[in-house]
Every structure is written in C-alpha cells, then in structure tokens.
Amino acid sequence: MKNGEIGILLFSIFIVAICGIIYELIIAGVSSYLLGDSITQFSLVIGFFMSAMGFGSYLSKFLKNNLLECFVIVEIVIGLVGGFSALVLFYAFGFTSSYHIFMFLFIIIIGVMVGLEIPILMRILKEYEELRIALANVLSFDYIGALFGSIAFPLILLPRFGLIKTSLLIGVLNILVACIIYYQYRQKLIKSGLFLTVLILILLSLIVGLWFSNQAERFLEQRLYRDKIIFMKQTPYQKIVLTKGKNDFRLFINGNLQFSSYDEYRYHEALVHPPMIFSYRHDRVLVLGGGDGLAVRELLRYPDVEQIILVDLDEVITKLATENKYFVKLNGGSLSDSRVQIINEDAYQFLLKTDELYNVILVDLPDPNNENLNKLYTSQFYYLLKKHLTPDGAIAVQSTSPYFAPLAFWSIVETIKDAGLKVYPYHVYVPSFGDWGFTLATRREIDFKKFQLPFKMRYLNEENFAAMFSFGEDILAYRKMVEPNRISHPVLLRYYEEGWKHW
C-alpha cells in the first residue's frame, strides 16, 4: 500500500469522525427539541453512543477477512442510517408512538458502526506501518475530526441548514467518502459491481432527500402544530415557528408556545402594569427578552416613559417583530418607536457590562427548560438585576405556571428573594397557557392599599388586580419545599421537568 493510499484511509477516518459526532449531536438535538430536557437527552445519547461504540469495537475481532470490504460496508451503513436519521425521527414523533425505539435504534446502529471502523482500519494499516504509528495516526485523525464536527454543527450547520438538511448533507459526505475508498481499492473488492450499485442508489436517495428537504421539514413540522405554519427558521439560538389560524397568530420557540394573539393581552398586562404601578418613576425601562414587542406595546401607553432598552439575544425575533405584518399589527409597531432601543445580546452579559440604573425592569424570558436559560433564573442573575434597579423602582419576572410546575414557580420566587429583593408573587389565567405566574420584586416594601390603575385595560381592573396576588392553599403548600436556584446548583431544572412532565 502506497503512502497516498494510506493517506486516503486516514482522511476517511477524519471525515467519518466529523460525521459520527454530528449524527450524535443531531439525534440529541432532535430529542431535545421534541421531548425537552436537553441535559437528559444529551446524556442518554452520549452514554448509549459510547457504549455502542465499545460494542462495535468488541465485534470487530470477529472480522478476519476482506477488511477493506468491511470498511466500505461500515461507511455505507453510517451514511445511509445517519443521513436519514433526523427525517425518520421527526416522522416517528409525528406519526407513531415509538419515538424512543427509533432513537435508540439509530444510536446503536451508528455507534456500533463507528466502533467497528477504527479497529478495522488499524488492522489494515498495521500491515504497512508499525503498530505505534498506525495507532497514533488513526486516533489523532479521529479525535481531530470529532473536534471539527463538534464546532461545525452549532456554529455553521445547524443555524444554516437545520436538523433534517444537516443530517442529509452529512450522509452525502459519508457516502462520498465511501465512493472514494471504493474507487481507490476497487481492484481488491470481491463484489465490486454490487458495491458500486449500492453506493449510487444510496447517494441518489440522499440527494433526492436533500432536494425535497424543505418540503419534508415543513410537512413534518406541521404535524406538531394545529394551525398553518407561515414562518419557520432555525437560528443560531433556537427554532422559531409562526403559525396562523383563522383568528389566531402564534409564536413558538423550540416547540414551546410563547404567545397566542387571542389572549396575549392578559399575559402582557399582568407582566407590565404591576411594576409600572408600584414604581415611582418610569423614565428608563429595561426589558430582558420580550423581543416580540408586546410588553413594549404596553409600556408605551405610559406618557412619562422616556427610554426603553430591549435586550433580546436573537436578532431574528426582533426583526420579525419589527417587519412582519402580523407582528406589527399585534404589537402596534412598538419596536419602531423612537423611544425604543433594541440590543441583540445575552441578557446576562448585558447586565455585567452596563452601569445604568432603571426605574422598571421586565424579565420576559422563555421558561427555564434548559441549562442555557437556567443561568437567567439564578440568584446571581437576580442580584445583577438588583444592582441596576433604582431604589424606588420595581421588577417583574415571568415565573412559569404555579399550577403546572409549582415547585419551579416557588423556586423562582425564593431565588429572587435570595438575591436580597422583596418579593410579591402573583398569577393570572391565560386561556392558551393556563394559570401563569409572575414575581414582582422591589428594594422596598409595597403598600398594596395605595395602588390605582392608570387607565382602562382590556383585562385588568381594580378587583382582579388585587386578586392576582392571592393563591389557594394547594399552591401555597409547595412554597416550603423548594430551594433557591444557583448556577452551581441548578435545582430549577429538576423542579421544572418534574412539574411539566405530567402535562
């Protein structure tokens, strides 16, 4: 075997290592998107994938002859199974009740094949190189390839192509590597013609899948939503879906409902007006999250608001809320108001960098359903909020449902209290969400007898405003069961999953 032929085999290891880690991330990503609880999904996928690789390495000892043919077969199987993995998983979730069976089947097949690959290649190479050199070359190319794949997936492939198209593209890459190996070593393959036919058929099927991937993705995604999808985009941070029914416009992020135009006013009146009523001044307002502009719409009803700083990580959301006709109709063009400044940045990093003080701070972030969002529900984060709040100001934090996830709700309340703020939990019924919770927080005590609604609202009046701060005994009973949520001890993730898994 010439040096060039050895180089081709090592290059194939590099490429397949890229493909293997990306397939692993795709399966974990699809599972997190469809099932939630990303820590559990990634842990399961990584654990079973590594175990399957170990089993594949064990099985390799039974392969004694025709190692080049075995290697080509491994490449073909990885490309075929991995390439269609995301498509099949979305189909399994939408049309069957056997998602986990498909998920583990993909993990095991791909893991076993990847586990077979390295021992087979090492045995091929050791006939032409010393064992120490073959071992060093194979493992180094494998590990470097895994690094490239783990970087390329979140930074380039996922935001640009999404999950389904990425898996098909990587499948094509896998099969192209198999084609190169076939061409280079076709004289040494016993069933050369059969291999060529199989390679061509699989490559064509993956290319056809790529050609129709947009239609397939929209069809499969539509199975997850009641109304027609009018916009869908995977950004570097999240999957955004807009749906439009006869009288309803909805925003979903990573499959989770963010608002329904039918009743969002209840949520946003409850979020915005309590802190505005109990803050002495409204000159400067900070909104963290809320890129849909609906909270800003309510804020602009106050004539003494001079400046609103809206900090939302995802530019796609704020651009949609500024330009999309359904958004603009719903938010009243609030994000185009001259008093509004939009900053697309992580809320935590923004608070670390700014020295400004605000009269009112609204925290309108998605629920803490993953580790990235968890840091925005910690005592450290709320301590930063306190630092940027004027002495007579007020904060409101959306705090998930006190009915569906009571432990999570009270943990958020206790975490804000742990940061040194006075807390006043409250809740409101939003038909599309159910009973939904918030936390009002200040540096000082609030006298609830001295409140007055500044103007007529669609939902809030003096009677139901006061009632929002009252809870039933069944909900209050959970308050003593929780701990504050900290970066070093993220109990909120567990509370949240325990609550919502029943619904």
Query: What is each CA distance from 71 to 124, 132, 136, in whole angstroms?
Result: 10, 21, 19
Annotated binding site for S-methyl-5'-thioadenosine: 238, 312, 346-347
- The encoded tokens of residue 422 equal 């006075």
Helices 99-125 and 67-83 cross at an angle (nearest 10°) of 150
- CA 240-241-247 angle, 5° bins: 140
In whole angstroms, what is the distance from residue 31 CA to residue 344 CA? 28
Annotated binding-site members: 238, 268, 292, 312, 346-347
Please state whether beta strands 256-260 and 249-253 pair in parallel, antiparallel, or not at all (unpaired): antiparallel
Give start and end residues of each alpha helix (H) in 324-459. 325-331, 347-353, 371-374, 379-387, 406-418
Neighbouring C-alpha atoms within 13 Å toward the C-beta of 273: 26
For residue 268 the two structure tokens come to 């946003």
CB contact at 8 A, 399 and 359: no
CA dihedral for 13, 18, 19, 23, sign (positive or negative): positive
CA dist list (Å): 325 to 123, 164, 230, 333: 62, 29, 12, 9
Helix-strand-coil split of the chain, %, nearest 5? 60, 15, 25
Identity at 164, one-letter amino acid code:
I
Which is catalytic among the residues 142, 314, 364, 418?
364
Measure the CA–CA gap between 490 and 472, rounded to whole angstroms: 27
Q: Is 364 a catalytic residue?
A: yes
Burial label for 293, CB within 10 Å (0-12, 13-18, 19+), is: buried
Sequence ranges of the binding site for spermidine: 268, 292
Cite the active site residues. 364
